[in-house]
Amino acid sequence: MIIALAEFLILFASSIGLNQLITYNFQNEFYFSGGLSYLYSNFTILIISLIIILAFIMILVASSSLILSKKRDIAIMKSLGTIPRRLYSFYLTEVYIIFIIGFLVGLIVGLVVFGVFSLFISSLGLSGFFYFDLFFTPILFLASILGIFFVPGAIMRKIANRSAVEIFSKDIPFDLDASKKISFIPKWISGINFNFKISVLNTLRRKGEYKRFLLVFSIISMIIFTLGLGTFVLSQSAQNWIQKAQGNNLIVIGHENVIQQYALMYEMFSDPSIIVDTEIIDFLDPQYLFNLSDIEDFALIPEISKIDERLLCFSDVSELNGYVYPEDGGYQIVGQERTGNFPILGVNTSNLIQNFELEGVYFTPSDSYMFIGDGLGYNFFDSPFDQSMSIEELQHTFHVSGIVIDTLYSGYAGYIDSEIMREELNFTGQEINLVILQLQSGITDEIEDQLNLIISGNLGENFSMLPLTSTFQKNQDFINNLGLFPNIIIVVLSVISLLSLYNYQKSGIMDKAKDFLIMRAIGSSYKSIKKILFLETFYVIIPSLFFSLGIGMILNALILFDRVTLPPLSIPFILIGILIGLFLLFNYLSLSSLMKKIKKFSIKDFEIY
């Protein structure tokens, strides 16, 4: 079950196309490969790494528990004269056989379950695929092989060298001294009242089991908290960046072929099956061009708050090497002389509608500078701000002044000054092929009629308008869907954590049957026994959740927080408060079934050796 769950979660976390260790066969080679992709990819690798650590720890705990459960058999074999080396090899071989069989069965079950699940998410229209993991699964297998040798193997070696009397003791150590003074914190807790005292003593008696469950539950709660906080922060930041890159209430106006392909260039961000290139359309075809004077009447419509005129074309581009000067002196040449064919947009930064998430600065009019999308920034340059781009169509070189998070062409677009672009293209007038209008609110029939009247009168019958709201919404929905996948993992791990808590409550119940019978005989109520059991699990929940709070915030800070918009400090504490409340509620409710079993205890439940 551990391997099946781990394999399913590894495949699940990688199936959304965010694992940089996998090559994806997409028609759109630029699909989701910019700045957001790097953040989500790092987050995905973090998720998978934590899942592997969890599976590894649970395998070691299960293997160690198996060894400890054999202590009575080991003691009998020891008393019959079996040498320690034979005991060690016999039981360690048993652990390895169980592990290998369990790993193979779990691997098959995980693959089958994920295969069914991938068909299900595909039927819902969500992006996903099926593949065999050949990286993380072997790592887990080899790590587990070594871990079993060093951890359960060490336990077995230690047990095999003890006497038969010492081995007969179970999880409670044979040399436990009940009169020994307890440390400061348990002493302070046990001094509160009788129920606290008994719960502390029971926990100290089961110290080995307590440590194992505390470790497993700490890892599980750390993953849940890390996923929850990271998903919240990343989703909020990504939605904000995408919103700034796209804008609200936008209408694009131009030739019908141009505006349709322009809209598809935005959809490339969220749809790996869409591609627009020079073989599909030549944006500089004279039939697509019109003059700035043709759109002056748009300014007479009061509902239009901004007019952004653009000149768009595809061009072969080249990466030019740059120089980096380290603090210790000298210089370093950066760049790999990459080439490509990408969209170049001539814009007027004073009329720019989008309020991009920007690193660096925009260019000023008539500068030989450009700003680029994050797809180019992360994949086309080694050190963008120290390099330049040569645009063959314009026979001009531009230095990079800024990088923006952009959804147009998956962030593989370059922006230059429109005046320079027209000059280098030898245009004699104020030619453009796109106009973006920003409305104060949504489009109405009256506004649509006014726009159509201007378009037909000034531009011609082959020109039209296209609202971009639905296109932009697809990209927003894509970001929202990315947040659903970690949430599903959180739900799965929450169920596992609840089952772990229940198993901790349930474990040792029979061993404590004698204690409960004695307590009942001297007048203790079932209510008091229930409180003791609640407190024993409480000692697992609180330390592990506060451990997850600290480690989870550190992990998110290392992976995400240097790039994203930081949430209020109250958010992680609210999240940890919700987890504490949820687990304490389950702790209380799950005791009902255990109390029914405890009420049936009798003298028959005593174990006599």
Contact in structure between 552 and 224 (CB atoms under 8 Å): no
**208 contacts: CB under 8 Å, gap ≥ 6:** 68, 171, 173
Residue from 280, 275, 333, 241 nearest 34 by CA: 241
The pLDDT assigned to 608 comes to 47
When pLDDT is cut at 50, 70 and 90, the band that residue 245 belongs to is very high
pLDDT, tens only, 194-230: 788 888 887 877 787 788 888 888 888 888 888 888 8
Residue 426 has pLDDT above 50, yes or no: yes
Can you tell me the mean pLDDT for 284-298? 90
When pLDDT is cut at 50, 70 and 90, the band that residue 406 belongs to is very high
Total-model pTM: 0.79
Residue from 360, 434, 372 nearest 398 by CA: 372
Contact in structure between 227 and 490 (CB atoms under 8 Å): yes
| CA–CA dist 370, 444 (Å, integer) | 36
Q: How far is CA 184 from CA 203, 214, 389, in A?
A: 15, 20, 66
When pLDDT is cut at 50, 70 and 90, the band that residue 365 belongs to is confident
Strand partners, 373: 404
CA angle 13, 14, 15 (to 5 degrees): 100
The pLDDT assigned to 340 comes to 93
Helix (H) or strand (E) holding 228: helix 207-246
Residue 319 has pLDDT above 90, yes or no: yes
Read off φ and ψ for residue 309, nearest 5 degrees: -90, 140
| CA–CA dist 367, 171 (Å, integer) | 75
**73 contacts: CB under 8 Å, gap ≥ 6:** none
Residue type, 224: I
| CA–CA dist 513, 596 (Å, integer) | 13
**473 contacts: CB under 8 Å, gap ≥ 6:** none
**518 contacts: CB under 8 Å, gap ≥ 6:** none
For residue 395 the two structure tokens come to 């026979």
Residue 412 has pLDDT above 70, yes or no: yes
The pLDDT assigned to 311 comes to 94
Tallying the residues shown for the chain, one arrives at: 609
Using the 8-state DSSP alphabet, how is residue 135 labeled?
Answer: S
When pLDDT is cut at 50, 70 and 90, the band that residue 526 belongs to is confident
Q: How far is CA 149 from CA 215, 573, 577, in A?
A: 19, 39, 39
Three-state DSSP at 387 gives coil
Question: Minimum mean pLDDT among 178-182, 241-245, 387-391, 411-415: which range?
Answer: 178-182
CB burial of residue 401 (10 Å; 0-12, 13-18, 19+) = buried
**547 contacts: CB under 8 Å, gap ≥ 6:** 218, 221, 222
CA angle 325, 328, 334 (to 5 degrees): 30
Residue from 594, 474, 477 nearest 534 by CA: 594
